[in-house]
Amino acid sequence: MRFLVRFLSTVLGLAVAAGGALLAIEVGWRWWQPGRAPLIVPWERWREDLAALPWTSTSVRVTAVIVLVAGLLFVLFALAAGSRAVRMTDPADGICVSTSPRALARLVGLAVRAQANVTGASVTASARKVRVRATSRLENEEQLRPRLLETVATVLDDVPLERRPKVSVVVDSPKDRR
Amino acid sequence: MSRSTANRVSTRALARSHSAERTLTFLLGLVAVLAGAAALVVGQGWLGEFRARRPLLDPIAVSWLAGHQLYARIGAVVLGVLLFVLGLWWFFRSLRPERRPDLALDETPGAELTVTAGALAGAVQADAEAIAGVTRARARAVGTSAEPALRVTLWLSEGTDVRRIWTDLDTYVLARAREALGLDSLPTAVCLELDTTGPARVR
């Protein structure tokens, strides 16, 4: 996502620069040489087209929807490109330590999978929340969940995180379906 | 370097800053959303049926512009130049690679002593890889030459005690680097990762 925003930002910067340059050049050219044809952009033809196009026309609506959706995507990309690093407490002045959500999730996942009667587990983690979804054939949710909560708590105790994430554990067991 | 400055510099060294790119993309996206929504609102006739049936390039607006031709032209040229400058600055800022500042230890004329970013990174990397449990390490200098900092990424093998690494780092690796360079403080950001290529887990 960060790469995408960087790329998008480069392209948009270039587009803004090009647009600004064309605007300045065309207006300046018309000012300097009033009777001559436009230099690069055929804006006189565009002007006639736009003067004949009402706001209700389909092409205007389609363009508006495209611009709206593209803008929404830009906003979403920009929001999603924030730093996701999970901060740990600083061991000393001038040193700060962080880990990636993926590393934290793997750390939790290893501990959860090492528990007895856990067939599989998927873990997602962020600085605020750790979600564990474990499957078990032998134990139902009521039996396994407290144990897994405790396991995750022990793992989180061992990692000096700046803020302790909330933990949610869901157990998926065929025993619960009967 | 004061305590809070060191903390600020090290926090900033955690990851490359994307704030300018993000802000500009966000703002442009917001402008596009508002423009698209406004065009739809006008086209739907919510601002009056009369407005919806008018052409995009409204004769009223055109005649107003023609009445203020000089100001309109000056405004357009200035706007164009501003957009051009802003766009170019934005473009080059997005393309700019992250800086790797050298560390100037002594700046007295005739006796300058500089540690290149590569040498500093190599030394710290070798030290960090010597810690038990660290399979791979990568270090690089980041920040500005006025406020240089170090970013160290450590890949830990499975089953490593994170808390021990967390304490070893300062007392062993970074203390050595500071000692060798004769610095009081070397702001450092450490990123811990779990190595995926560790030994296979046996159950």
- pLDDT tens digits for B11-42? 787 777 778 888 889 999 999 999 999 999 98
Per the CB < 8 Å rule, is B81 touching A24? Answer: yes
Chain segment B69-103, per-residue pLDDT in tens: 889 889 999 999 999 999 999 999 888 888 888 87
| 3-state helix, strand and coil shares in percent for chain B, rounded to the nearest 5 | 55, 15, 30
Q: Model ipTM? A: 0.74
Task: Name beta bridge partners: B120.
Answer: none
Per the CB < 8 Å rule, is B39 touching A63? Answer: yes
Pair of tokens at residue A65: 């929807």
The four Cα atoms B37, B43, B44, B50 give a dihedral, to 10 degrees, of: 130
- The beta strand positions in chain A, using DSSP E, are 86-87, 95-99, 120-125, 129-135, 166-172
Q: Does B162 touch chain A (CB under 8 A)?
A: yes
Q: How far apart are the first and last CA of chain A?
A: 43
pTM of the model: 0.75
Residue B89: list chain A partners with CB under 8 A.
13
Asked if B181 contacts B3 with a C-beta cutoff of 8 angstroms, the reply is: no
Pair of tokens at residue A50: 């736009």
Distance separating alpha carbons of residues A8 and A77, to the nearest angstrom: 9
DSSP character at residue B174: I
Distance separating alpha carbons of residues B144 and B103, to the nearest angstrom: 10
DSSP character at residue B98: P
30-49 in B: which are within 8 Å (CB) of A? 30-37, 39-40, 42-43, 45
